[in-house]
Amino acid sequence: MSITTRFAPSPTGYLHIGGARTALFSWLLAKNKGGHFLLRVEDTDRERSTKEATDAIIQAMAWLDLAAEGTAVFQSERFDIYNSHIDKLLENGHAYWCECTPEQVEAMREKARAEGKKPKYDGRCRERGLGPGAGRVVRFKTPQDGVTAFHDMVKGPTAVQNAEMDDMILRRGDGSPTYNLAVVVDDHEMGVTHVLRGDDHVANTPRQILLYQAFGWDVPDFGHVPMILGPDKAKLSKRHGALSVMEYKNMGYLPEALVNYLARLGWSHGDQEIFSRAELVELFSTGHLGNSPSVFDIKKLEWLNAHYIKEAAPERLAALLPEFITEPEGLKLDPAYLASIVPLLQQRAKTLVEMAEMARFFLLPTDRLVYDEKAVADQLKPEARQLLTELLPLYEAAGDDSDHKALEAATQAFLDERDLKFKAVAQPLRVALTGKTASPGLFETMCVLGKGESLARIKRALAL
């Protein structure tokens, strides 16, 4: 059976980790069944919804490769449709007009609390047969007995006594439709068969099921995914990593790493941690979604990102790297040159930001290379300088196309003649070439820099 899922964000802010995970699970559910994944923008809050946020959400979904099919549905363009369906409920007796003020409704709830009852609207306008009027709302006539039950795809069998539910408002006093009504109409008209969303919507589901039944429509399957917590088990916040998806892009994470991490944040397939996109699609099922909150772990995300950086094609990383290089003016950013640097850094970098920082000494011209003062003092002492001076003719005589093994062998022969260990020149040479004491392999670095640049840097170091 072909299925249709949807992601329905509110554009009152950027797409955050929780929303991205919901979108991913919905996308995977659809793709696993060969179905369709749709996007609905729930922009009925006209004061807080912005085009900037809408564009940012769509951009983040595209970066994660979760683009929806077809044209996005915007709720702000569908008010006439919602109101026509509310009118149908009024006509068939499933809804009624109510003139109770918010203050009166709150008084009803306070009275119920004082009596130990469920605090809700008491239904006083339910059978009055009122019509439209200034400030009046339309309420749903919730059944007063029986049970509304459904099988949650994540939580299992779920049931609510109808008597526990309010006669919810369908149309506000200003004529605007409410969330539960709009969602049901949209999901029906979009052909949505399966709804995966956060468990903050659990309480809405029985109400929405009653609306489906009142309209005589098929009820979709519902599933509610537990929230994401910070490492301290508190609600995920910015201090834990609850940033917008595009912030993770700016921090140097690859989209496939974030997708893999989010998939494992509440879903599992045995003990497997690393999944290709194709594996996620093939293996995903709601039966393997966890029923407990997940804990966000930035270290695990870094570990996954490091894995995907190691696996990525150097040419792809080279194309991404310039975006993360600060003060690029005057740096050598030729794509082919960057692609020759990347393999030296892939085993070391956890993010593209780290890789860009590691790559910086490769990109600077000799006269702009910054030398660490302590490294120079510790490593470029007179005896080390003498050895570098004696090594220069050896490197000058080397061919322009010498590989790192040839350079290493020549250096080792030079040391053997003097009965010296490699460490006698390793750090002095590294400081001369890179300005610091940590770098990729010495001779691989020399090959990437090229003969001319390597010699120029050694000579400059000797002149310090």
Rounded to whole angstroms, the Cα distance separating 463 from 171 reads 80
CB-side neighbour CA atoms (13 Å) of 244: 17
CA-based nearest residue to 311, from 265, 273, 342: 342
Q: Helix, strand, coil proportions of the chain in percent (round to 5)?
A: 50, 10, 40
Rounded to whole angstroms, the Cα distance separating 305 from 248 reads 11
Residue 197 to residues 141, 176, 251, 352: CA-CA distances in angstroms?
26, 24, 27, 32
Active-site residue flag, 238: yes
User: Structure tokens of 37?
Assistant: 């994944």
Decide: 220 and 192 in contact? Cβ < 8 Å: yes
Q: Which residues pair with 437 in a beta bridge?
A: none
Decide: 10 and 49 in contact? Cβ < 8 Å: yes
CB-side neighbour CA atoms (13 Å) of 399: 6
User: Structure tokens of 275?
Assistant: 């999944």
Q: Which residues pair with 355 in a beta bridge?
A: none
* Count of beta carbons in the 10 Å neighbourhood of residue 273: 14
The dihedral built from the CA positions of residue 410, 413, 414 and 420, taken in this order, carries a sign that is positive
Q: Helices 204-215 and 79-91 sit at what angle, rounded to 10 degrees?
A: 70
Rounded to whole angstroms, the Cα distance separating 128 from 126 reads 6
Rounded to whole angstroms, the Cα distance separating 342 from 410 reads 25
User: Structure tokens of 362?
Assistant: 């490769």
With H, G, I as helix, E, B as strand and everything else as coil, classify residue 227.
coil
Rounded to whole angstroms, the Cα distance separating 343 from 15 reads 33
User: Structure tokens of 90?
Assistant: 């009024």
Q: In this structure, which amino acid lies at residue 121? A: Y
* Count of beta carbons in the 10 Å neighbourhood of residue 233: 8
With H, G, I as helix, E, B as strand and everything else as coil, classify residue 127.
coil
- Among residues 238, 310, 381, 405, which one is catalytic? 238
What are phi and psi for residue 223, nearest 5 degrees? -145, 140
The number of residues making up the chain comes to 464
Catalytic residues: 238
